[in-house]
Amino acid sequence: MELRQLKYFIAAAEQLNFTKAARECNIVQTAMTQQIANLEHELKVKLFERNHRNLSLTVAGERFLKDARRIMNQVTASVDGIADFKEGYENVIRIGYHGEMFKKDLAEILKEFRLRNPKTKVYLSQEPQDELIGSLEAGELDLVFTIYGSYFQSLGWMETEILEENRVKLVVSRDHPLLEKDRVTWADLRGVPMIDFEEKNRDEREMRRLQEGMVFDEYCLVTDHTSGEILIESGYGVAFWVERMCDPVRYPYLRFIDVEDCADIAKFCVAYRKEDLAAQCRELITYIKNYEAIYQKK
């Protein structure tokens, strides 16, 4: 059974005239009668009583008319529904971000972007860096905000834009022994338990620090900022945070100390696939690059 047969049957049942029904459906009368005959043959029941002058529904035809109208109404509603869905979801940007460090900026960027692009939907996902890159490569995310790693250069499918560079500071609890110092050196940190982030570019950081002569007593690795924050506040260890996160108003229970001989520089970037980038994503990326009120390269 085909939907067009139901359409033809409903027209014939309402007109009670094959010629008028055929005209309504934009087909010839012979095609109309043939389709009705095919439908009756498939259902194995007579739907119309026919004579030379009149056409009427049988009892089975009256029953089937109710079902046919219900089916066609459902089809119409489904078609309308998917049209609404397409209109609402055809412009979607899926953004992944790594850590609390991007939260404020994303809110500012997306606030302005929403005003300029009210029909574009945005979905956000906060994930560890490894998962972000994997989701981006798999096409599950359109772009990601993360800390730049030099290994990105080996990913031929990825494009990155450096947005900002930050030095790092040492983060300690407010009752930590190092709090007495305004500045610390690598020597001051020997033997101090360190809470580090589990990221792909962690090996890169460790290698750089080893070259600078620093070997940490690692307490543990964390995959999210909040876990590290809790452990630092509890006195289990210290950590390096990027400068933009070191806000004493936001974190009154933590203290931030300059590291005199630390050359660590964190680069914030937006990353995306080179191919198959939707127009709305390109527009957002262009907007981000030009949004100097937030991102200033240092």
Q: Is the pLDDT of residue 256 over 90?
A: yes
Average pLDDT of every residue of the chain: 83
Percent of the chain with pLDDT over 90: 14
Say what the pTM is: 0.60
- The whole-angstrom separation of Cα 243 and Cα 146 is 15
For the chain, the straight-line distance linking the first and the last C-alpha, in angstroms and rounded, comes to 69
Mean pLDDT of 53-74: 87
Task: For the chain, give the number of residues.
Answer: 298
For the chain, list the strands marked E by DSSP: 48-50, 55-57, 92-97, 121-126, 143-147, 158-173, 183-184, 193-197, 217-222, 239-242, 254-259, 265-273
Whole-number pLDDT of residue 171: 95
Distance CA 117, CA 258 (A): 41
pLDDT at 298: 39
Q: What is the reported pLDDT for 203?
A: 65
Tally Cβ neighbours within 10 Å of residue 205: 18
C-alpha distances in Å from residue 291, one per residue of 108, 129, 287, 295: 10, 24, 6, 6
Residue 294 has pLDDT above 60, yes or no: no
User: 97 - beta bridge partners?
Assistant: 126, 145
Token pair in block for residue 287: 């907007």
- How do residues 121-179 score in pLDDT, each as one tens digit? 888 988 888 888 889 988 889 999 988 888 888 888 999 988 888 888 999 999 999 98
pLDDT given at position 88: 54
Is residue 297 very low, low, confident or very high in pLDDT (cuts 50, 70, 90)?
A: very low
